[in-house]
Amino acid sequence: MKKLYVGNLAYSITQDQLREHFSQAGTVTDAVVITDRETGKGRGFGFVEMATEAEAKKAIEMFNGKELDGRALVVNEARPKVG
């Protein structure tokens, strides 16, 4: 499985919408939109986990720089958490 960082999301995007969008590139095993603890609103980024390396590469090619809800997405491999 390969985890992708997805940035510049519209604040209105839901986890279901994110999962559905990325499923065009292959099997999505997990999709998370990071939300603000206080307001519950999206913070403009999230993570999508693709089933295979090939599907992750395809998702990056398909969606990096492409618009979703009027915003150009930033899609790349997620870096491991530090600390």
Task: Note the pLDDT tens digit of each residue in 9-24.
Answer: 999 999 999 999 999 9
Q: How confident is the model at residue 56 (pLDDT cuts 50, 70, 90)?
A: very high
Question: Which residue, among 79, 81, 82, 64, has the nearest Cα to 7 in the 3D structure?
Answer: 64
pTM above 0.85, yes or no: yes
What tens digit of pLDDT does each residue of 13-53 get? 999 999 999 999 999 999 999 999 999 889 999 999 999 99
Q: Which residues contact 59 (CB under 8 A, 6 or more apart)?
A: 4, 22, 25, 26, 48, 50, 75
Q: Helical H runs in 13-82?
A: 15-22, 53-63
CATH architecture designation of domain 2-66: 2-Layer Sandwich (3.30)
Judged against a pLDDT cut of 90, whether residue 83 lies above it is answered with no
- What integer pLDDT is reported at residue 59 of this predicted model? 98
